[in-house]
Structure 1
Amino acid sequence: MPWVPDTAAAPLAVAVPIVAACLALVGARWAPRPLIDLLATGAAAVTAWLTGALTLAAFGGRVVTWTGGWSPRDGRSVGIVLAADPVNAGLACLASALTCCALLYSWRYVDSAAGHYHALVLLFLAGMNGFALTGDLFDMFVFFELMGATAFALTGLRVEEPNSLQGGLNFAVINSLAAYLSLIGLGLLYARTGQLGLAQIGAALGGRPADALVVVAFVLAIVGFVTKAAMAPMHFWLADAHAVAPAPVCVLMSGVMVELGVYALARVYVTVFSAAVPAAAVREAFIAFGVLTAAVGCVMCVTQRHLKRLFAYSTIAHIGLFLIGFALLTPDGFTGVAVYVAGHAGIKGALFLLAGLLLDRFQTVDEGELFGRGGRGAPCWLFLLAALALAGLPPLGPGLGKALSEDAAGAAGLPWLAAVFVLVSAVTGGAVLRAGLRVFLGLGHRLGPVERDTQTAGEERPETETALTRTPPTMLAAVVLLVLGGVAAGVAVGLVPALAAAAGRAGQTFADRAGYLGQVLYGGPPRPAPPPVAARWTGSGVLSGVVSTVLAGAVAALSLWLPRGARVRARRLRPAVDGLHRLHSGHVGDYVAWLLAGAAGLALALLALPAAAPG
């Protein structure tokens, strides 16, 4: 960054979108729509450049910025810190890049809300970047609320439609309640330590055995994060929100917002609680919740025919895998999750935009109603490529993250988790592949009409002002960029030695709690890291990716061509599946009950599991 100091990049990554949002809101009163589009997209591009340069700088050591120059003295501070390492700066860069693509796709969107829509998207970006980069727990809450408030408004953007209003309301109520629980946990920590900074609280808790108050404070503090991450059983809001949110908004929510919840969980535990709350208890609890989340997401995904809900449940299933990767609590596990998130974001974002194209052209995203109508143009092949990437096909992006996570699980003495990664990739990738083959190529048997309920009725309304007869170049360009980005994450990192070593170093830096505290509290130099384990393809990783892709093809084939007799016998499982579907009722009271049950279950798990030496 020749004209921007490294320490200025983090504040600018938050400030630029906020200023641009204000300009877009004011300019929309007199400026033509294309100018507002260019302003918003340009601001997101500048932010992507800033965060990308910040990521590169962070590979040489954390970039620590004390706003207002209020740096600490002797480990004590009153200022607010932004601490960028390769993982959180990379997440901010990912959020900025996805926002660029979402805004590019939106050039033909929401004419009636021009300016307001752009301002909300840019404020959403500012909230995500601030949430990722801040080193202060209270500021995490503030940016969490900014991110949430704009996401609620964007989800319910078409407020005149009952389903849009319901999806946005469920999203707002559940996540707001979870945020209030997190605020209570923050208050408990402040009462115990008198500090709000992550490093300061971590130093105050370090070396002391965790009592019940610390464990409860940990659980409450992370409830908002794991709810945002859609960890089961706090996940119910996600599919309802994705079903009604505009496709570009789904790109941001599914591609990076929910992943930021996993990041926050990892950051808060590693920096604040890892020296107090036993690692063994955290590992066992979150592996269990990760497996549960992956299982629920898989079953709901493969039994969906509404494309946006199918993709949303696929995201829930992959969040389960990300939680498992975190729960390993090793640098290699963090590296695997980071690479997985990068590949998943591009692929899943492209799938949501392709669903948006189908909706705007055919006024439906129902797999049965779209049978054979998608055609064999570019969207068809992009959809099928994305499905194969989601299944873990080497050397594409999600496949490398999956392989690295499996290797990390094996190194941690948990090789059986590789089967979970393979099965989740196979089922979710197979469900998406099945939908693509049926919608675009007309393969398989026709689905009968679906009986609409209050959750799905009326969702299929075009998101453009007029129905599309052809795909606008800007929309197709956004899809292509996302697919290429998701694919390149695995090809570049897995095959270029320098990038493989950099990815491995990112995981080590993230796990280095002592280095974080030393730089933030005492202004010390970056600690030299041990030689990184390069994040490259291995023979076992390639084999695992091939197996999961073949299994995904089998899942798709069984769904498309299962003989009628076998389909009749398979209906014996229907009551269990229907029971799981009924739990996703759309009633906010049910979702609140599951949120509280999940928080209580997590607290009981951490208090009941045998304690080991803090790790």
Structure 2
Amino acid sequence: MPSTANLLPLAVAIPLLGAVLLTVAGRRLPRAATDVLTTGCAALEAACLALLRARTGDGRAVDWVAGWGPPDGNPAQGGRSVGVVLVADRLGSGVALLAALLVLAVVVYSWRYFDEPTGEHGGMFPALLLLFEAGMVGFALTGDLFDAFVFFELMGACAYALTGYRIEDPRPLHGALTFGIVNSLAAYCSLLGIGLLYARTGQLGLAQLGQALDGRRPDLLVVCAFVLVLTGPLVKAAAVPFHFWLPDAHAVAPSPVCMLLSGAMVELGVYGVARIYWTVFAGPGGVPQPAFRATMLVVGSLTALVGAVLCWQQRHLKRLLAFSTIGHIGLFLIGVALLDPAGLAGTAVYVAGHAGAKAALFGLAGVLLDRYGSVDEHGLHGKARELVLPGVLFGVGGLALAGLPPFGTALGKALSEAAAGERLPVLLPALYVVVSAITGGAVLRAGLRVFAGAGQTPRERPGGPETSGEGEEPEIRDPTRQPPWPMTVVPGVLLLASLAVGVLPGIGRELAYAARLFTDHGGYLAAAYQAAPPPPAPVPPSDWTTEGVLLGLLSALLAAGLAAAAVQPPHPGLGAALNRRLVVPLRRLHSGRLGDYVTWLAVGLAALLLAFAGQR
């Protein structure tokens, strides 16, 4: 059995080799054999990462691939790193395992999801999925900033290709191009920041960069490099105002791809923000904690509110779920911005629960698209009464997003609320409740209309803030058959997994230990240099509290109330005024024009530079 260190390169190599095998052999294999091969590779990767996490224990595993470590003397004395270093701590290996499990779920979901061509292009879709997985896992486990950029771009390139996979339809191609260009521009910013850091320190390893900056006084160049490097992860995370690409991409991407984009990729953007700051810039020569905390609290709050408001206004179900993701990403960024183990522990639990619930909801949207060729809430009114089990699961997913105990989303929300309440009492906990209620209520409203036929058929509103979901391309092209069983079973399993995060106390406890380890800046440097780590900090709380349960019930009740009120006949007045003055202007910003989105990328970058430089 391979050692712990050897498991690190193996975890990256398995999906890469699987993708090569599928690319070469997929054109010769029948569809069933391709499915078996893909599932085997995904299951082997998940098992490898589970073993890695189990062996990591309460420390970190470090591997300099091929032995190319720091060449000039004792690394503890500042030797420069030239090789590829992989570092697994509890949180990094946990994020990698979460991505691997979601890929496995998506592979099973896609067994009969749509017709995969045979012949020359056979096996391309599963090969891209495995390459996507290799990028996500490599990014979660790398200990080198430039390698993080490489893995991030591998992940991004595969995501662009998967988003535009149906090349016969111009809409996916447009969404993929917007996705690709905006994220590529952000990647150039990150690469420029990496170059500035390398010019200043001569290092690329995260630990080496952190140690080099700790020995210097903070200056404007370091602040500029930090903002530039952070641009890539913030765009991938779809933080406002870098978020415009996400709803456009989710609206046109195949539903299995949406499960990965919202369930894993955007969360990896949040992980990247946290990893880069805590490992490289959290020391005395980096970015002061008050500056990071204040700026990211504003970014997170703005992201949460914009995502919630626009989520409620959507009738296109995949756009609705995409804006819901943006709202929850804002809450995750707030947890990271608190800069304490308790906030990060709550965010880690929240992310784990959200991944299962959101992936399940996108999978159920795929059932509707398969069956009716539409994801339009208004057009599907009452049509899906026959889909009893998907309807029940859709409602359960909406309650999970709303934070109903004992789902993992509710536990993560409760822990995050408690940590946020220590920083800004009342205000931040109220934000968690409101955003959870609105996003969960939007899902419940759509479920009531589509699966139960509740209320009257909504009237069309020309010029309104919604985007229709009619006229979508069915992704199986055989609407006479019942949806294949994996398309219902996999969302059910994902919702059970989200429930397990909140019910099984060991999961929350493990993530709390992981958060403590992750926020230990000195411990990461010591592990990379194989030195004695500093004394560990206390483990943050990970159990249910009475206040957390009550706030979770409150947000779920508010979500149910909003959904019930929404299916009733509309009343003119305050709602119309809010739509006209707030929602419609926000909606018009999401123009679908690439030039507008690039402009907002530049505006956001400039705003971050001013914010951090002004607090230096």
CA apart distance, 1:27:
1.4
1:102 aligns to 2:106 (yes or no): yes
Which residue of structure 2 aligns with residue 440 of structure 1? 451
Q: For residues 117 and 395 of structure 1, what CA distance do their matches in structure 2 show?
A: 36
Q: 1:284 and 1:148, CA in 2 relative to 1: closer, same or farther beyond 3 A?
A: same
Secondary structure of 2:83's match?
coil
1:321 aligns to 2:331 (yes or no): yes
Which segment is superposed worse, 340-349 or 525-534? 525-534
Aligned residue runs from structure 1 range 177-576, under 5 A: 177-275=185-283, 276-375=286-385, 376-449=387-460, 460-467=472-479, 469-492=481-504, 496=505, 498-520=506-528, 522-524=529-531, 527=534, 529-561=536-568, 563-564=569-570, 566-567=571-572, 569-576=574-581
Deviation per CA, 1:494-515, whole angstroms, max 9, x where unpaired? xx2x444322211100000101
Q: 1:468 and 1:337, CA in 2 relative to 1: closer, same or farther beyond 3 A?
A: farther
Which residue of structure 2 aligns with residue 584 of structure 1? 590
Aligned residue runs from structure 1 range 50-65, under 5 A: 50-65=48-63
Q: For residues 106 and 144 of structure 2, what CA distance do their matches in structure 1 show?
A: 29
CA apart distance, 1:365:
0.3
Which residue of structure 2 aligns with residue 79 of structure 1? 83
CA apart distance, 1:412:
3.4
Deviation per CA, 1:261-294, whole angstroms, max 9, x where unpaired? 1101110111111112110011000000111111
Secondary structure of 2:172's match?
helix
Q: Which of 101, 112, 116 does residue 111 from structure 1 map onto?
A: 116
Contact 2:364 2:487 in 1 (8 A): no
CA apart distance, 1:446:
1.2
Which residue of structure 2 aligns with residue 122 of structure 1? 130
The amino acid of 2:380's aligned partner reads: L
CA apart distance, 1:36:
0.6
Structure 2: state its 5+ residue gaps: none
Q: For residues 380 and 278 of structure 2, what CA distance do their matches in structure 1 show?
A: 47
Deviation per CA, 1:405-435, whole angstroms, max 9, x where unpaired? 1111123354421011000000000000111
CA apart distance, 1:452:
9.6
Which residue of structure 2 aligns with residue 593 of structure 1? 599
CA apart distance, 1:451:
5.6
Contact 2:406 2:503 in 1 (8 A): yes
Contact 1:156 1:168 in 2 (8 A): yes
Secondary structure of 1:107's match?
coil
Deviation per CA, 1:142-196, whole angstroms, max 9, x where unpaired? 0011001000000000112111111000000000000001000000000100111
Q: 1:379 and 1:452, CA in 2 relative to 1: closer, same or farther beyond 3 A?
A: farther
CA apart distance, 1:79:
2.1
Secondary structure of 1:82's match?
strand
The amino acid of 2:134's aligned partner reads: A
1:32 aligns to 2:40 (yes or no): no
Contact 2:58 2:90 in 1 (8 A): no
TM-score normalised by structure 2 residue count: 0.95
Contact 1:59 1:506 in 2 (8 A): no
The amino acid of 2:8's aligned partner reads: A
Q: For residues 463 and 364 of structure 2, what CA distance do their matches in structure 1 show?
A: 23
Deviation per CA, 1:520-568, whole angstroms, max 9, x where unpaired? 0x2135555344133111111111101111111121122112x44x245
CA apart distance, 1:516:
0.4
Q: For residues 419 and 151 of structure 1, what CA distance do their matches in structure 2 show?
A: 35
Q: For residues 304 and 455 of structure 1, what CA distance do their matches in structure 2 show?
A: 7
Which residue of structure 1 aligns with residue 67 of structure 2? 69
Contact 1:163 1:455 in 2 (8 A): no
1:152 aligns to 2:164 (yes or no): no
Q: For residues 111 and 468 of structure 1, what CA distance do their matches in structure 2 show?
A: 19
Secondary structure of 2:63's match?
strand
Q: For residues 469 and 314 of structure 2, what CA distance do their matches in structure 1 show?
A: 15
Secondary structure of 2:311's match?
helix
The amino acid of 1:542's aligned partner reads: V
Contact 1:62 1:526 in 2 (8 A): no
Aligned residue runs from structure 1 range 127-138, under 5 A: 127-138=135-146
CA apart distance, 1:4:
2.6
Which segment is superposed worse, 236-245 or 23-32? 23-32
CA apart distance, 1:208:
3.1
Secondary structure of 2:542's match?
coil
Contact 1:391 1:549 in 2 (8 A): yes
CA apart distance, 1:457:
7.5
Structure 1: state its 5+ residue gaps: none
Q: For residues 538 and 513 of structure 1, what CA distance do their matches in structure 2 show?
A: 29
Which segment is superposed worse, 339-348 or 440-449? 440-449
Contact 2:516 2:538 in 1 (8 A): no
Which segment is superposed worse, 412-421 or 157-166? 412-421
Secondary structure of 1:173's match?
helix
TM-score normalised by structure 1 residue count: 0.95
Q: 1:174 and 1:406, CA in 2 relative to 1: closer, same or farther beyond 3 A?
A: same
CA apart distance, 1:329:
0.5
Q: 1:456 and 1:500, CA in 2 relative to 1: closer, same or farther beyond 3 A?
A: closer
Which segment is superposed worse, 351-360 or 371-380? 371-380
Q: For residues 540 and 593 of structure 2, what CA distance do their matches in structure 1 show?
A: 47
| Percentage of pairs with the same residue | 52
Deviation per CA, 1:352-394, whole angstroms, max 9, x where unpaired? 0100110010010000111111125210111111100100001
The amino acid of 1:198's aligned partner reads: L
Contact 1:137 1:196 in 2 (8 A): yes
Contact 1:163 1:459 in 2 (8 A): no
Q: 1:43 and 1:197, CA in 2 relative to 1: closer, same or farther beyond 3 A?
A: same
Q: For residues 494 and 106 of structure 2, what CA distance do their matches in structure 1 show?
A: 10
Q: 1:452 and 1:157, CA in 2 relative to 1: closer, same or farther beyond 3 A?
A: farther
Contact 1:225 1:265 in 2 (8 A): yes
CA apart distance, 1:469:
2.5
Q: For residues 458 and 300 of structure 2, what CA distance do their matches in structure 1 show?
A: 32
Q: 1:117 and 1:452, CA in 2 relative to 1: closer, same or farther beyond 3 A?
A: farther
**Aligned residues: CA RMSD:** 1.7
Which residue of structure 2 aligns with residue 16 of structure 1? 14
Contact 1:111 1:465 in 2 (8 A): no
Q: For residues 509 and 239 of structure 1, what CA distance do their matches in structure 2 show?
A: 34
CA apart distance, 1:461:
1.0
